[in-house]
Amino acid sequence: MAGTAMQLDEESDLPWVEKYRPNSLSDLVAHEAIISTITRFVEEKKLPHLLFYGPPGTGKTSTILAVAKQMYGKYFSSMALELNASDDRGINVVRDQIKAFASTQQIISKGVKLVILDEADSMTNAAQFALRRIIEKYTKTTRFCLIGNYVSKIIPALQSRCTRFRFMPLPYDVAATRIREISVCEGLNLTDDGLNALLDLGQGDMRKNLNILQSTSMAFKVIDSDAVYSCTGNPNPRLIDRLCEILLSMNFTEIYAEFNEDRITLGFALSDIIREIHKNMIKIDFPEKMKIFLIKRMSEIEMRLSSGASEKVQLGSLIGAFVEARALQF
Ligand SMILES: Nc1ncnc2c1ncn2[C@@H]1O[C@H](COP(=O)(O)OP(=O)(O)OP(=O)(O)O)[C@@H](O)[C@H]1O
Ligand SMILES: [Mg+2]
């Protein structure tokens, strides 16, 4: 009993990205074509060397871990070697550790071993060149899976030895279904606009979605859009709509007063506000020339902010740009 209770405690302490990491290939959502191809490789025991690439939180690491679990079961730790960027992966590791693992006797007499090189795009070029030879030498007994965000950082010689799979950001509807399932498991009160806010901030990155969901659930009972935005420190779209309205209607002094009030009370960075206003401007219907004028001004302000200019002065400049654009009457 004590053991079970402890296990449960341990499980509930896990960050949700780990707690809900897919255990098998069939648990993974989206990427149907990739999953079905890889499932076939595994079932037919014809796994090629693999290269997974794509943006963060899309399931690359989860996929290969699921493959390894499916292929090896309890022999996982002796048949699969997992190295990621936190390990030293200079040329010596490639030479010694991978070589040692690849050349030891297999435990399961048939079937190949698997070397997972997570975040391979941060390996030095020298290590990648050394790997090229090793992959060739041990192809009979070992398969390699290289994972990275940027395929361009993997040398072409390695790319050509692998079957490449590109992991796209998760489509919103698929991510939404998964988030709903998890919020049912966790007994959360997630509203529809809360879910939309989550999807908007996550942009198809499931890790980001789950991390925001977990932190919001710790701070708020009801996870609605206000909770999600305030928990992540992002300005709420409703606030941005209102600020845009003010910018396009009031005079300089009035806008300055309103803005100062909102921004200081809510504590947002001007650069975040500018980024969100920019998103809105694409949607707002006003003359193209005016949009171009404003975007140019905003990009200058953004650059000045990033080099440490005063927020107050730059706020004045932002308001000035809108007032000036309206006066110019494009
Ligand atoms: N396709 C998916 N299906 C189900 N859950 C997913 C999927 N993709 C990501 N997740 C969730 O997001 C978490 C992070 O995924 P994972 O570690 O596989 O991302 P990654 O693609 O390796 O990202 P990175 O490039 O940052 O290493 C997982 O623990 C899982 O909970
Ligand atoms: Mg990963």
Indicate which CATH number applies to the domain containing 159: 3.40.50.300
Strand ranges across the sheet with 50-53: 80-83, 113-117, 142-148, 50-53, 163-166
Candidate of 58, 118, 167, 208 to mutate for ligand 1, largest count of ligand atoms within 8 Å of Cβ: 58
pLDDT in tens, 236-249: 888 889 899 999 99
308 and 255 fall within a common domain: yes
Pocket of ligand 1 (CB under 6 A): 17, 20-22, 28-31, 56-62, 149, 167, 178, 206-207, 210
245 and 222 fall within a common domain: no
58 and 113 fall within a common domain: yes
Query: What is 56-98 written as a DSSP string?
Result: TTSSHHHHHHHHHHHHHGGGHHHHEEEE-TTS--SHHHIIIII
What is the pLDDT at residue 88?
Answer: 67
Work out how many domains the chain is built from and give that number. 3
Closest CA to 155 of 123, 196, 183: 123
72 and 143 fall within a common domain: yes
What is the pLDDT at residue 313?
Answer: 93
Greater pLDDT, 29 or 285: 29
Greater pLDDT, 248 or 86: 248
Which chain residues have CB less than 5 Å from ligand 2, an ion?
61
Task: Kindly state the percentage of the chain with pLDDT values over 90.
Answer: 64
What is the pLDDT at residue 2?
Answer: 37
pLDDT in tens, 116-164: 999 999 888 888 998 899 999 999 889 999 999 999 999 999 999 999 9
Domain-embedded: residue 292: yes
Rounded to whole angstroms, how far apart are CA atoms 150 and 329?
Answer: 45
260 and 180 fall within a common domain: no
Q: Indicate the pLDDT class of residue 85, thresholds 50, 70 and 90.
A: low
What is the pLDDT at residue 7?
Answer: 44
Computed over every residue of the chain, the mean pLDDT equals: 89
Domain-embedded: residue 211: yes
Strand 163-166 relative to strand 142-148, pairing? unpaired
What is the pLDDT at residue 222?
Answer: 96
Where among 141, 166, 191 does a domain terminate?
166
Give the closest residue (by CA) to ligand 1 atom 30: 21
Mean pLDDT to the nearest integer, 77-86: 82
What is the pLDDT at residue 74?
Answer: 86
Give the closest residue (by CA) to ligand 1 atom 7: 59
Q: Indicate the pLDDT class of residue 286, thresholds 50, 70 and 90.
A: confident
36 and 161 fall within a common domain: yes
pLDDT in tens, 209-234: 999 999 999 999 999 999 999 898 88
Mean pLDDT to the nearest integer, 167-183: 97
Indicate which CATH number applies to the domain containing 298: 1.20.272.10
Rounded to whole angstroms, how far apart are CA atoms 212 and 206?
Answer: 10
Rounded to whole angstroms, how far apart are CA atoms 125 and 143?
Answer: 20
How far, in Å, is the centroid of ligand 1 from the Cα of 113?
23
51 and 162 fall within a common domain: yes
What is the pLDDT at residue 76?
Answer: 87
Mean pLDDT to the nearest integer, 311-315: 91
Domain-embedded: residue 16: no
Domain-embedded: residue 19: no
What is the pLDDT at residue 213?
Answer: 97
150 and 102 fall within a common domain: yes
Closest CA to 240 of 279, 198, 199: 279
Domain-embedded: residue 17: no
Domain-embedded: residue 253: yes
46 and 153 fall within a common domain: yes
Q: Which domain holds residue 76?
A: 31-166
How far, in Å, is the centroid of ligand 2 from the Cα of 88?
17
pLDDT in tens, 247-283: 999 999 999 988 887 665 567 888 989 999 998 888 8
Q: Is 222 helix (H, G, I), strand (E, B) or coil?
A: strand
Q: Is 164 helix (H, G, I), strand (E, B) or coil?
A: strand
pLDDT in tens, 87-115: 666 777 777 888 888 887 766 666 789 99
Q: Which atom number of ligand 1 is nearest to the Cα of residue 29? A: 3
Query: Given a cut of 80, is residue 312 above it in pLDDT?
Result: yes
Rounded to whole angstroms, how far apart are CA atoms 3 and 9?
Answer: 10
Where among 166, 193, 216 does a domain terminate?
166
What is the pLDDT at residue 11?
Answer: 61
Domain-embedded: residue 198: yes
Domain-embedded: residue 176: yes
How far, in Å, is the centroid of ligand 1 from the Cα of 206?
6
203 and 228 fall within a common domain: yes
Where among 134, 166, 198 does a domain terminate?
166
